[in-house]
Structure 1
Amino acid sequence: MDESLVLKHISRHISLDSRETSFFLSLLTEKKVQKKELILKQQQVCKEISFVQSGVLRAFYLDPSGKESTIMFALPDWWITDMYCFINQKPAMLTIEALEESSLLQLKKDSLDELYSEVPKFEKFFRIMMQNAYIREQLRTIENLSLPAEERYYTFLKKYPLAAERITQKQIASYLGVTPEFLSSIKTNKQKKS
């Protein structure tokens, strides 16, 4: 298991000594997933939070009519879970799928609680992660309410240039709240302007 990426990620916010590092790593489980494999299904109890080492994942909500709404993408160096359901150990509201072959490091809920007890500075680390996620989602909500679809698409491209190359047009459209056809017309207009 190559843990260098997750340790580098953590070191941006907290410093660990060798004992704390070893304890943290002992709680992680490596999981390899294939393209289109689901790591969480709606209504399944959400037991893990996953750190993406390689690959791309997508969390989406599937409504009763079968329409998918993408909530987030996770690229290498990102965490992903259905946070409400993970923290409260409730059935998931989201489905999480691998968009390509991916490698994950997973942390179970009881292991996270143990980590907080044994290495309290991880509470700071995950607080920072939650604050950043909340800010990102708040800004996304404001953009969805205030910006036309075309500007939301350009904002997405600026924020996540590498993601746009690895995610289908249908999935990006689902994230932006538009149809794939509408997104195609935005891309066509952009090419004409260039």
Structure 2
Amino acid sequence: MNFPEHKLIYYIQKWVDLSEADAASILAAFEPIAVKKKTQLLAPQEVCRYVYFITSGSMRSYHIDQKGTEHIYQLRLENSWISDLESFFSQKPSKYYIESMEDSTLLRISFDRLEMLYAEVPKMERYFRILFQKAYINALQRLNSTMWDSAEERYQDMVKENCDILQRVPQTYIASYLGITPESLSRIRKKK
């Protein structure tokens, strides 16, 4: 399990059983890439061409509003996925940036190649359905959290989900993700 691509197979097999032939087809469908810190993989008005599995490093997606304020939508570390699914599936321009926060290695698959993979390995359609359902539920929970939970509760939930994020992601990004100011985040962290 030392090869980055084996992490992908490991995480897929948490949801669906794969034969060796299935695993080989999946690995052949994904393209490995390495990016340096601060590399943009997507910018607004571009169509999102890939879904990325992060094998090492960290990524973020964000939007810059008309006032120039950055709003972080996703913070992702290794062994997770990142993309703009709305743009990816509609093949329409994105509103987001996707950028590496650290030197990172990724496995990516294009829209067309994913469609072919569904035919080659039908279990992948089930896997991605589960994955996209979970992404949808997470997005709804995050939206609900910003409406009803306090900033402190949102912070605690984020720490419970992934405590490594605090050591690896700049505080300004965490504050933006939580929808609070860096000063508010500082006050919350001092209480703990």
Give TM-score scaled by structure 1 length. 0.93
Where in structure 1 are there 5+ consecutive unaligned residues? none
- Provide, for residues 14-41 of structure 1, a one-character-per-residue CA deviation record: whole Å limited to 9, x for no partner: 1222222222111111110111111111
Q: Secondary structure at the match of 2:52?
A: strand
- Provide, for residues 142-173 of structure 1, a one-character-per-residue CA deviation record: whole Å limited to 9, x for no partner: 21111111221122112221112111110001
Residue number in structure 2 paired with 1:54: 56
Residue number in structure 2 paired with 1:19: 21
Q: Which deviates further from its counterpart, 88-97 or 151-160?
A: 151-160
Residue number in structure 2 paired with 1:184: 186
Paired amino acid for 2:130: I
Q: Secondary structure at the match of 1:106?
A: strand
The CA RMSD over aligned residues, in Å, is 1.2
User: Within 1, Cα distance between the matches of 2:176 and 2:4?
Assistant: 33
1:9 lines up with 2:11 in the alignment: yes
Picking from 117, 120, 132, the partner of 2:119 is 117
User: Within 2, Cα distance between the matches of 1:177 and 1:42?
Assistant: 21
**CA separation of 1:2 and 1:160: change in aligned 2, threshold 3 A:** closer
Q: CA deviation at 1:64?
A: 2.0
Picking from 129, 151, 167, the partner of 2:169 is 167
Residue number in structure 1 paired with 2:33: 31
Q: Stretches of 4+ moved more than 4 A in 1?
A: none
1:101 lines up with 2:142 in the alignment: no
Identity of aligned residues (%): 37
Paired amino acid for 2:157: T
Residue number in structure 1 paired with 2:74: 72
User: Within 2, Cα distance between the matches of 1:187 and 1:21?
Assistant: 43
Give TM-score scaled by structure 2 length. 0.94
Paired amino acid for 1:151: E
